[in-house]
Structures are given as structure tokens and as C-alpha cells.
Amino acid sequence: MTTWLVTGGAGYIGSHVVRELLASGRAVVVLDDLSSGHASRVPAGVAFVQADVADGQAVTQVLQDHAIDGVVHLAAKKAVGESVEQPLRYYRENVDGMLSLLEAMAASNVTRLVYSSSAAVYGSPERNPIPETATLQPESPYGETKVVGEWLAAAQGAASGLSWVALRYFNVAGAGSDDLGDDSVNNLIPMVFAALDKGESPQIFGDDYPTPDGTCIRDYIHVADLASAHAAAAAYCEAHQAADAFNVGRGEGSSVREVMNTISAVIGRDVQAQVAPRRMGDPPASTAATEQILLTLGWKSQLDLEAMVASAWSSWSAHRSR
């Protein structure tokens, strides 16, 4: 049985990845600085170390104390807008953190890495669905830091035999269980729920895009599906000398209005969304090409938009009622 360290494992995505790795028969250790994660999300019996991934000494200690075989690296800042306002903080936390982790891994001879990247590396795509070979032209410091992280993994892989897979997440939503929902109100679905809780109309940022209904199209992926992609990537890193980046999406786009309609259907009433001005930097459409991850990892998504919205609403409602 292999043992994997999950950095950011007390977070929304990380806590799902931890459970999926355990379910796949691997042992897990969690490292998280709790800047946005919650210790309560770490399952009983799983070793938890509260530390900053950029703290090389602490990370080296964990790698050696627990005889870590591989690392799933999720710990990073991920709010696009915030990265525009605080680029140096994003480079410090996302790039320095990755660099420090790779140095600690090399010093401890840990040779497997699954790295959390993002569709933000593509910026405004030239075409959809977006293949992994598309030009990486990020349009935010956040997206830039994700590209640099991939470069670091690729360079270290070529120099040292690190077996690595970067997973380029599209739009993550949903909850594997009510206690693991996304409580950071940074993305469409929780933003709609927050507006409804305040008795406000949710906003559609622009309905004059060149899309069938005029609203932006995104490729939403259930966080439970995303977690299973990490277990597939870990298995691949264990069995091969991997050096790959894969999109993680459904390969299917949903417009903002379709998401609003799905939320209305799930909660049983019309959310009465209002059209607001466009938001800077939003590409009209962004959907994943998904052939490569199926071909190489044998992974494909299982859950649809309705399952994402229903599970997100169930988790949101459960939290509100506490």
C-alpha cells in the first residue's frame, strides 16, 4: 500500500481527494495551513499536520516521518480576481510553495506528484473544446502561477525522474456529502445560493455573448468526479514514469442561464436571475477536450449538472440550518 501526502487536504477539493485516495486503498496524510480549509474535514484516523507547504523543513519532516510515496499538491491560492489585486502574494504562495515542495520531495526521494492545475492556464481559448495542446495564454496572475507550476514539474521530471501528472480543473461544483460543500462564495453556484439567502436576485454577468442563449458557457465538473481523477492520476504515477497534463471536465458546456434554470428546478422555485453587465475577463465559452484523460488514465466523468446543483444545494442548506 502506498502513502500519499495531500497538501490542502482540509479544503473543499482536498477533502474529497483524501476520501477518494483512502477508498482506492491508499494511506493518506494531510498537510494544510487551515488558511481556508477546516480541520473538521480531515477524516478520523488520518494524520494531519498544520503547516505551510512553503515551510520546507516541516514538509521534509512529514515526508520522512510518514514514508510518503507520492504527493497530491492542492494547497494554493485560487481566486482569479484576488490574484489581479495581489499578484506577488499569488506568486509567493503558489510558485514558491510548489518550488519548496519539489525541493523537499527531491531531498527525501519522493518521486510521484499529482499537481492541481487549472483551465485558467488557457486564458480565452482559441477554440472549444480545448485540447491539452492548446496555447497556454493565462490572463490572470493566478493562471500564470498554474502554468509556472506545470513548468516546474516538467523540468524536475526531466532532470530527476519525478513522475508527475498535472490536472487542469475546469469549473468544479457540487459536494460528495453535506459536510464537504464549497463554503467559499467565489463561484457561480454558491454565489447564487448566497444571493437567495439574502433575498436578492442572482446576477447573470452579461447575456450578450456570442453563445446560443447569450450567456457564458462553462464545463462544470462534480467535485466527486474530480477526486476520482486524482486517484486515477496517482495510480498512473505509481505505474509509469508520467509527464502529462490532462483536462478534467465533462467535455460538455452549460450556460449561466442553464445553471440558473437547473437551480430553479432543484430548489423548486424560480431564482429570478437579473442580467447585469459583463464581468471583465470572462471568455464566452470554455469546455474541456476529454479524450486524453480517458485514453491514458481510463477516467471519465460520471455525474451531471443536476447532480452538482442538487448536492451543492443540500450541503448549503445543511450548513445554513446549523
Whole-number Å distance between alpha carbons of 217 and 256: 6
Residue with smaller CB distance to ligand WQD, 32 or 69: 32
Whole-number Å distance between alpha carbons of 59 and 125: 36
Q: Which amino acid is at 236?
A: Y
Stretch that binds ligand WQD, among 18-26, 44-52, 63-71, 203-211 (CB under 6 A): 203-211
- Please state the φ and ψ torsions of residue 163, each to the nearest 5 degrees: -95, 115
The upper half-sphere exposure of residue 233, i.e. CA atoms within 13 Å in the direction of its Cβ, equals 32
- Of 12, 169, 193, 316, the one binding ligand WQD (CB under 6 A) is 169
Stretch that binds ligand WQD, among 63-71, 101-109, 112-120, 237-245 (CB under 6 A): 112-120
Closest contact distance (angstroms) between CB of 161 and ligand WQD is: 28
Q: Is 115 helix (H, G, I), strand (E, B) or coil?
A: strand
Q: Does 168 bind ligand WQD (CB under 6 A)?
A: no
Residue with smaller CB distance to ligand WQD, 26 or 222: 222
Site string for ligand WQD, 72-111 (x = CB under 6 A): ------x-x-------------------------------
CB 114 within 8 A of CB 71: yes
Residue with smaller CB distance to ligand WQD, 110 or 285: 285
Whole-number Å distance between alpha carbons of 94 and 111: 20
Residues in region 60-79 near ligand WQD by CB under 6 A: 78
Whole-number Å distance between alpha carbons of 198 and 192: 10
Catalytic residue among 142, 169, 220, 236: 142
Among residues 58, 52, 142, the alpha carbon closest in space to that of 97 is found at 52
Whole-number Å distance between alpha carbons of 299 and 305: 18
Closest contact distance (angstroms) between CB of 286 and ligand WQD is: 6
Residue with smaller CB distance to ligand WQD, 62 or 173: 173
Residue with smaller CB distance to ligand WQD, 178 or 282: 282
Whole-number Å distance between alpha carbons of 166 and 292: 13
Q: Cα–Cα distances in Å, from 9 out to 34, 156, 259?
A: 9, 23, 28
Closest contact distance (angstroms) between CB of 262 and ligand WQD is: 13
Q: Does 279 bind ligand WQD (CB under 6 A)?
A: yes
Closest contact distance (angstroms) between CB of 260 and ligand WQD is: 8
Closest contact distance (angstroms) between CB of 314 and ligand WQD is: 19
Whole-number Å distance between alpha carbons of 101 and 124: 30
Whole-number Å distance between alpha carbons of 284 and 231: 31
Radius of gyration of the chain (CA): 19
- Of 30, 75, 102, 120, the one binding ligand WQD (CB under 6 A) is 120
| Residue 295 burial (10 A CB sphere; 0-12, 13-18, 19+) | exposed
Closest contact distance (angstroms) between CB of 47 and ligand WQD is: 27
Residue with the CB atom nearest ligand WQD in the bound state: 216
Q: Does 194 bind ligand WQD (CB under 6 A)?
A: no
Site string for ligand WQD, 237-256 (x = CB under 6 A): -------------------x
Active site residue 142: yes
The upper half-sphere exposure of residue 31, i.e. CA atoms within 13 Å in the direction of its Cβ, equals 28
Residues marked active site are found at 142
Q: State the residues that interact with ligand WQD by CB under 6 A.
A: 78, 80, 118-120, 169, 171, 187-188, 191, 202-205, 216, 218, 256, 279, 282
